[in-house]
Amino acid sequence: MRYVSTRGGVAPIGFAEAVMMGLGTDGGLLVPASLPRLDAATLKAWSRLRFQDLALEVMSPFVGEAIPRDHLAALIERSYASFTHPEVTPVIRLGDQWLLELFHGPTAAFKDVALQLLGNLFEFLLERDGGRLNIVGATSGDTGSAAIAGVRGKSRIHIFILHPEGRVSPIQERQMTTVLDANVHNIAILGTFDDGQRIVKQLFGDLEFKRELSLGAVNSINWARILAQMVYYFYAWGRVAAGDPHRRVSFAVPTGNFGDVFAGYLAKRMGLPVDRLVIATNRNDILSRFVHTGRYAAGEVYPTLSPAMDIQIASNFERYLYFLLGEDPAAVRGLLDDMARTGSLAVDAGHQAQVRADFDALAASDAETLDQIRATFAQSQYILDPHTAIGVRAAQGQADTICLATAHPAKFGEAVTQAIGREAPPPPSLQGLLEKETRCARLEASADAIRAHIRATLAAASQ
Ligand SMILES: *Cc1c(COP(=O)(O)O)cnc(C)c1O
């Protein structure tokens, strides 16, 4: 399988190169040059596989020659051994819907499904092909801890994660700072999340520094993350279809950066019998406005009870535009130019009809989010986290819908307490965090201070 950029400026590359490149060198996102098409017999066979075996089947054509099949199988086994549920991503019945629980990994949120695999892929490719990787990123909470959990203890990799001191929840802070592996470097900056993002941008903009230290991003746009996320769409369908390869289902997906729901879109393009993909957003509703109007216009970012979805520019959206526009990089560049010039882009009537055929969308307010947590708890004694609650709300009244449960409710105790008057019992990975030993540097919020700290830390580590 070869990969190309949505902007057309990367000569076709293989899987290993695409994973190590992350963002395309032309600023675009990497996408497969073609998609496998599945027939009913294949789907039927896949519907009976355990999660890890299914992952091997789904990923193999996309990995191609880059990694021998038995190595890939071992890598997948290792990645999902860190999940506490035997099914990895179980599907449960919730009223007249289904819930796909994606939060049984080490940080209790769905990003583990992709980042546990990505950490192992990085390690395997660096050991085989040589090189090293220093990941630098800023986090407002969830992504940082999942990225750290993905690469802790891995050889040839260091990770530096900046968080704003005192501005992430105590649990989120401890999920990062209690990881004591020698290659994990937490930095509390005396500033805001925006300061952290600005500093990371400055460091990546310093091309000399970037090359010298082999800097890599937290890779929210890495192709391997999409690939890992496609697996559970097939898995969930298999649990519900129970051997009937023509059984159709819909998915409701709590959405921020469009990565998760895009994985579902690709699964559908490959032939998974999906009726509707429902984009569920909070008040930051750029995507739902796009589905309803065909216009994509950034607005202000509002803080909500579902903070992992407080996003205005969805970084994976460009991948969808590429497929919507018939895999035509020039057309993608045209729309992105509009966006850069005017702050918005719009698709024509024909494409807008296609968008509506591809997706439904619903945005929920904080009050509606709390109402849904309350209603589901009253009905089923099941506690939803605020992100999942938005998905469940979007799925309401639609038959045969599987809602993606993206976080464990114990991670968002404040919202849950507001809704039902108590917190959810924490899973083992979140227990005892406040008593554990921590390690974290405190630095002023300046690129110079962070740059010097990264240099000194790496120099000490290589002694
Ligand atoms: C990251 C995240 C999301 C949004 O996923 P995207 O791939 O950015 O759309 C939803 N819920 C939770 C809990 C998350 O951490």
DSSP 224-260: HHHHHHHHHHHHHHHHHHTT-TT--EEEEEE-SSSHH
Q: Please work out whether the CB of residue 259 comes within 6 Å of at least one atom of ligand 1.
A: yes
Ligand 1 center from residue 309 Cα (angstroms): 6
At 80, the amino acid letter reads: Y
Read off the pTM: 0.96
Residue 205's pLDDT is 86
Ligand 1 center from residue 363 Cα (angstroms): 15
Residue 197's pLDDT is 86
Ligand 1 center from residue 456 Cα (angstroms): 34
Vertex 440, ends 438 and 445: CA angle to 5°? 155
Distances (CA, A) of 428 to 178, 190, 250: 15, 31, 32
69-80 and 111-129 helices cross at what angle (nearest 10)? 140
- Find residue 443's DSSP bridge partners: 189
Atom of ligand 1 nearest to the CA of 411: 13
At 8, the amino acid letter reads: G
To test the ligand 1 pocket, which listed residue (260, 285, 373) has its Cβ within 8 A of the most ligand atoms? 260
Distance CA 232, CA 59 (A): 12
Q: Please work out whether the CB of residue 318 comes within 6 Å of at least one atom of ligand 1.
A: no
Out of 111, 154, 201, 411, the active site residue is 111
To test the ligand 1 pocket, which listed residue (257, 317, 392) has its Cβ within 8 A of the most ligand atoms? 257
| Cα 198 from chain centre | 21
Q: Please work out whether the CB of residue 257 comes within 6 Å of at least one atom of ligand 1.
A: yes
Which residue, 301, 288, 421, 258, is CA-closest to 364?
Answer: 288
Phi first, then psi, for residue 340 (nearest 5°) are -65, -35
| Longest Cα separation, the chain | 61
Distance CA 4, CA 18 (A): 9
Give the residue, by CA position, lying nearest to ligand 1 atom 11: 406
Tell me if residue 210 is catalytic. Answer: no
Instruction: Please answer whether residues 306 and 411 qualify as being in contact, where contact means their C-beta atoms are separated by less than 8 angstroms.
Output: no
Q: Please work out whether the CB of residue 111 comes within 6 Å of at least one atom of ligand 1.
A: yes
**pLDDT per residue as tens, the chain (463 positions):** 999 999 999 999 999 999 998 889 898 999 999 999 999 999 999 999 999 999 999 999 999 999 999 999 999 999 999 999 999 999 999 988 999 999 999 999 999 999 999 999 999 999 999 999 999 999 877 889 999 999 999 999 999 999 999 888 888 999 999 999 999 999 999 998 889 988 998 998 888 998 899 998 877 789 999 999 999 999 999 999 988 999 999 999 999 989 999 999 999 999 999 999 999 999 999 999 999 999 999 888 898 999 889 887 788 999 999 999 999 999 999 999 999 999 999 999 999 999 999 999 999 999 999 999 999 999 999 999 999 999 999 999 888 999 999 999 999 999 999 999 999 999 999 999 989 999 999 999 999 999 999 999 999 998 8
Give the residue, by CA position, lying nearest to ligand 1 atom 1: 308
Residue 115's pLDDT is 96
Q: Please work out whether the CB of residue 309 comes within 6 Å of at least one atom of ligand 1.
A: yes
Which residue, 442, 5, 44, is CA-closest to 238?
Answer: 44
Q: How many CA atoms lie within 13 A of 234 on its CB side?
A: 31
Boundaries of every domain in the chain? 91-108+223-428
Q: Please work out whether the CB of residue 142 comes within 6 Å of at least one atom of ligand 1.
A: yes
Q: Which one of 3.40.50.720, 3.40.605.10, 3.30.43.10, 3.40.50.1100 gives the CATH number of domain 91-108+223-428?
A: 3.40.50.1100
Ligand 1 center from residue 255 Cα (angstroms): 6
DSSP SS3 for 13: strand
Instruction: Please answer whether residues 203 and 210 qualify as being in contact, where contact means their C-beta atoms are separated by less than 8 angstroms.
Output: yes
Ligand 1 center from residue 406 Cα (angstroms): 7
Give the residue, by CA position, lying nearest to ligand 1 atom 2: 308
Ligand 1 center from residue 386 Cα (angstroms): 11
Ligand 1 center from residue 259 Cα (angstroms): 8
At 318, the amino acid letter reads: E
Which residue, 165, 113, 109, 158, is CA-closest to 137?
Answer: 158
DSSP SS3 for 243: coil
Give the residue, by CA position, lying nearest to ligand 1 atom 8: 257
Distance CA 213, CA 293 (A): 44
Q: Please work out whether the CB of residue 225 comes within 6 Å of at least one atom of ligand 1.
A: no
Distance CA 122, CA 20 (A): 7
Which residue, 251, 275, 249, is CA-closest to 261?
Answer: 251
Reported as type and span, the H/E element at residue 184 is strand 184-190
DSSP SS3 for 34: coil
Which residue, 147, 117, 128, is CA-closest to 56?
Answer: 117
Q: Please work out whether the CB of residue 282 comes within 6 Å of at least one atom of ligand 1.
A: no
Distance CA 107, CA 408 (A): 9
Q: Please work out whether the CB of residue 7 comes within 6 Å of at least one atom of ligand 1.
A: no
Q: Please work out whether the CB of residue 102 comes within 6 Å of at least one atom of ligand 1.
A: no
At 22, the amino acid letter reads: G
User: How is residue 266 written in tokens?
Assistant: 């690709």
Ligand 1 center from residue 410 Cα (angstroms): 16
Q: Please work out whether the CB of residue 112 comes within 6 Å of at least one atom of ligand 1.
A: no
Give the residue, by CA position, lying nearest to ligand 1 atom 15: 308
